[in-house]
Amino acid sequence: MKLTTRNGEIDLPLDFSLTIERANPLLSDQGDASVPVTLPSSPRNLAALGHIERIDRAKAYPDKAEAILEVGPIRKRGQIVIDTAHRRDGIVAAFAVDSGDLYAKAKAKTLKQILDEYDGGKGYRQSFDGNMDIAYDAMESVYLDTDRDADYVLFPVAVSPYEEEQGGAKVKKYQYNNAVVQGCLISGGTVYEDGELVAVPDLYGLAPFLKLSRLVDILFECLGYTMADSCLWRYHYAQMAIVHNCSDCLCNPSVTLYYKDLVPSCTFGEFLTWLADKFMVRPVVDSESLTVRVVSMEDMLWQGPDADISGLVEGDWTVQPVPTRRVVLTPNNSLEGTEPAAETFDKLMEKYGNYGFINEAEFHSIGLPDSDIRGGLKLRKASGQFYMVQPDPNNPTRQTAKLLGTNHFRYDRANSEETEEHSPADVMPLMVVGSKGETTPYIGERSHAHTSYNGSTADEKQDIIVVQYVRSAATGPSYPVYRTTGTTQRYVVNANGTSYFDFSIGLVPYDLYDFCWRKYNTLLLNAAPHLKGRVRYTVGQLLGADMTRLKHAGGQPLLPVSLSATIGAKTGTAEAEFVLAKAFADGVEDQPLNPGSIPYVWTYTTNAENVAERLWQEILADHTPSTDDGVISDELEGYSFTVHYDEQPYPSVPTTPGQTEVIAVAATFTIHYVRHIEYDEGYLPPESHIDMERTIPNQSVNFTFTAVPA
């Protein structure tokens, strides 16, 4: 075993070993690392690690050092993380690899710091050559959807409310970043600050928002990694953006867009924790190739196993029963006006039984003599607000709408012994309605990075706020049409007050549960047991095992939890822990609540089996029936496939029983088969049964959806 730093090789004892502990990154935020060991305090080691044992150092004391671990032909890049150093007693340190390497380098850095350090401290940026006209044209081309390749999008967001006298009463109004007049972005002019009307410079109020997927890609680029694959590139994540309150992103002397002004004031570790708590996604790092994949738990449980470890397991599993648990998702409703109509959706339904949907035109008709909206609980689709429509106490012949609260419910079905709590840090925006019926997210008070007012400080704290966005090609001569619009809801309303898009999900817990948490929660709810045992992994298999893919053992799918093994002078088998990730005959699952006006749900079937059979026949047609030594025959073992969600994978809400819809999506198939070789008499075969597989990309799979009663 060799451990080498930039300053030279580390002296290791002849009997030196490391115990490496690996964890599924979706189930842990600790990263992969060795158990701490004591390195000799040799002159070479003390020098390689910067002489941190000395108290007369002039420079700051490092707590880590980049290093390369070599065990035979296996090579891993990582970090030596130093705990203590003593001139005589040794250096206590651990070796962090992959995710552990990433966390050791960047977990405590802020996003702003990471972006600011890029390019030798010049920062990650977009320059407009000091020209305000070029900067404005770039912003408008993104907003008008003529530039889809930008890292960011623009759409109006409400900020900094103020009060205005109207008819002797004070009326609450909102100001806007990315405000639109006659279909064009406006900037500069005047804004209200602390009740005063203040003149602001050109480009003030233009606020591009980084696409969520691009922000993650850029952060890893700044840290020296290449993104190999990311679930965030695909629907629905691909239509999400991180919004912010900064109004003067472009109001600097060089007219440069600094990306550090567009990101939350959190650390990299806090941001990764937010991704996990919001969407159950995490990065998977290969510290040797310096590549990253961003993976989701739902995809992990959807995909088939990538390896059969049956022959590597020593003895029997220790089966550890666990109590039933459930996922609880708690949104951040700290922004004024975002309080939900009840603690959970279930409790709202316990009280009211059912509800109906109303669009903006129907909402505004409530109280009019010819309104056909009747009483009861109604969800205002565009704003995500629940109202009780009831007789107007001042005119019982007409209706009035009483606001109960938003649909920002806590997801908690109260159906297990224990809970697994997830409280994502992002602040839920309030959807507010403009003068023409358009809806925009309200995200709080505006902040400033480059300007100040009456001594206000720049670079104020920025919360994480995420919305999804949609582009519209609609036009209109007499009103501003929002070409790009942001929302947390499923329904989007343009500046004419008409709904023109229906997302398959909203960014509220009850919608995100179906998209991000359902399969994982079903494992917890069915008390899927943990299995512990020993697996004869080689050093290469231990360090190279994909902890984000299921494994097979004895025909059962296993979800990796952790691996621990000693390598070096005392190399041994790995201690492994898995979750038995299968469906149980008496299994249970959270049933969707669908008491609204559309009492149908989708069931679906796929033609994946037919596609796999066709591919198998093509493989059979290609195989060679014999060799000089014997006869070959191939036997199908099974198949797996991975769907590429480059488009919407599910149809919109069903409206009639028996309704069908077919959606074709691209997929990669892996055909698993066994090759049997019947050798000629007298020839001693090295192996007569060989496990084979063939991977075939770009195959079309049909999902046939059928509406059935809920």
Amino acid residing at 290:
L
Q: What is the pLDDT of residues 482-531, one digit of tens each?
A: 578 899 999 887 655 666 678 888 999 999 999 999 999 999 999 999 99
Q: Are 328 and 587 in contact, with CB atoms under 8 Å apart?
A: no
Out of 97-111, 122-136, 265-279, 432-446, which region has the weakest mean confidence (pLDDT)? 432-446
Least confident of 149-163, 452-466, 684-698: 452-466
Average pLDDT, the chain: 88
Q: Which helix (H) or strand (E) holds 543?
A: helix 539-544
pLDDT of residue 706: 84
- Token look-up 């049933």 returns 591
pLDDT at residue 603 tops 80: no
Residue 341 and residue 383: Cα distance in Å, rounded? Answer: 13
- With 0-12 / 13-18 / 19 or more C-beta atoms within 10 angstroms meaning exposed / middle / buried, residue 303 is middle
* Cα–Cα distance for residue pair 83/49, rounded to 1 Å: 12
596: confidence class by pLDDT, cuts 50, 70, 90 = low
Contact indicator for 150, 480 with CB cutoff of 8 Å: no
Averaged pLDDT for residues 239-253: 95
Higher pLDDT pick, 684 / 151: 151
DSSP 84-132: EEETTTEEEEEEEETHHHHHHHHTTSBHHHHHHTHHHHT-SEEE-TT-H
In 300-368, the DSSP E strands lie at: 307-308, 313-320, 325-329, 356-358
Backbone φ, ψ for residue 276 (5° rounding): -70, -40
Amino acid at position 221, single letter: E
pLDDT of residue 114: 97
Least confident span in 300-304, 308-312, 327-331: 300-304
Whether a cis peptide bond, with omega within 30° of 0, leads into 672 is: no
Q: Which of 253-257, 368-372, 625-629 has the lowest mean pLDDT?
A: 625-629
Cα separation, 674 vs 688, whole angstroms: 10
Residue 648 has pLDDT above 90, yes or no: no
* Whole-number Å distance between alpha carbons of 97 and 17: 16
Return the pLDDT at 628: 64
Q: What is the pLDDT of residues 342-362, one digit of tens each?
A: 999 999 988 877 788 888 888
Between CA 594 and CA 236 the distance in angstroms is 22
The CA-based angle 420-268-470, given to 5 degrees, is: 80
CA angle 335, 341, 345 (to 5 degrees): 115
**pLDDT above 90 as % of the chain:** 60
pLDDT, residue 631, reads 75
pLDDT band at 594 (very low <50, low <70, confident <90, very high): low
Confidence of residue 478 (pLDDT cuts 50, 70, 90): very low
State the pLDDT at residue 384: 95
The pTM is what? 0.82
Q: What is the pLDDT of residues 606-632, one digit of tens each?
A: 888 999 999 999 988 887 676 666 677
Percent of the chain residues past pLDDT 70, beyond the cut: 90
**Would the CA dihedral through 458, 460, 464, 466 be positive or negative?**
negative
Per residue in 62-101, pLDDT (tens digit) is 899 999 999 888 888 999 999 999 999 999 999 999 888 8
User: What pLDDT is attached to residue 178?
Assistant: 94
Distance CA 271, CA 212 (A): 11
